[in-house]
Amino acid sequence: MPSLNDLQIRIKSVQSTRKITKAKQMVAAAKLRKAEEAANAARPYAERMERVLANLAAGVSSSSAPKLLAGTGADQVHLLVVATAERGLCGGFNSSIVRKAREEIIRLQGEGKQVKLLTVGKKGREQLKRLYEELMIDHISLGGIRSVGFVNAQEISDMVLGMFKEGAFDVCTLFFGKFKNVMTQIPTAQQVIPAKAPEGVGVRDLEGAIYTYEPDEEAILESLLPRFIGVQVFKALLENQASEQAASMAAMDSATRNAGDMIDKLQLQFNRARQAKITTELIEIIAGAESV
């Protein structure tokens, strides 16, 4: 059985840990509101661009469609852009995104496809490096950035677009955590090249109306598609930021409550040990008095 001194040290240690987790929870809660507002504000613009893309793409033939929309005509080389957080202490947020990416890697390799990895965020890179270091072609760090801006998404999209122009891959899929609420973050995979609107975004029924585009659909798409990819990356980064803070707040709340339960158990064990020690001392005093 641990001594009273050992139990006191353990209680103080857990109390210090509880203070840290509580502080981390409060910081994450403060950051979550701002991150959630940013993610919610970006969704309408991204969804409207998806509708515009779907309507324009419906009026373009496959032979005249831009390469970013039609693709290379092949499906052999896949680039997976895995966006995670720079820090841990956020529950299973990073692991869930990496798990989804890992499942896609296994599926593609099983079909004989070539896979390349571009990681955004330190934690995803650390986890994927253990098994797929040979597949990694580059890494983008967002460390030190307080709030994600479109300039950060533009850096990623420019790199991906540059690689596509060089013929480095045929299909690009973006992995991130979609924010739903404080308790739920959904690991999501979205294909961005060849560009296509997500499921559920349909073509608007024009009810017989005829639209004339100036310039034509092909020219609009040539200008719109790079911007569309940048917006999708930006939305993914904002969703990730909100999901990370929500997961961190939930994880730290759970850790704080677990630390409180542990302190209660240790305190009970300490009280029992102290009572046993006092009882033993009293028995020794009484035995000594009787023997005199």
Q: Which of 51-60, 233-242, 278-287 has the lowest mean pLDDT?
A: 51-60
For the stretch 179-234, pLDDT in tens is 888 888 889 998 888 887 666 555 555 555 555 656 666 677 777 888 888 888 99
In a domain, 165, yes or no: yes
| pLDDT, tens digit, 9 for 90 and up, residues 158-167 | 898 888 888 8
In a domain, 58, yes or no: yes
Domain that holds residue 216: 22-251
For residue 245, tell me if it sits in a domain.
yes
In a domain, 119, yes or no: yes
Asked if the structure places residue 287 within a domain, the reply is no
- On whether the CB atoms of residues 103 and 229 are closer than 8 A, the answer is no
How many Å apart are CA 75 and CA 158, to the nearest integer? 21
In tens, the pLDDT along 226-257 reads 888 888 899 999 998 898 888 888 889 888 99
CATH number, domain with residue 217: 3.40.1380.10
195-227 burial by CB neighbour count: b if 16+ within 10 A, else e?
bbbeeeeeeeeeeeeeeeeeeebbebbeebbbe
pTM score of the predicted model: 0.81
**Residue 132 forms part of a structural domain:** yes
Whether 158 is covered by a domain: the verdict is yes
Average pLDDT over the chain reads 83
| Total domains present in the chain | 1
Residue 146 inside a domain? The answer is: yes
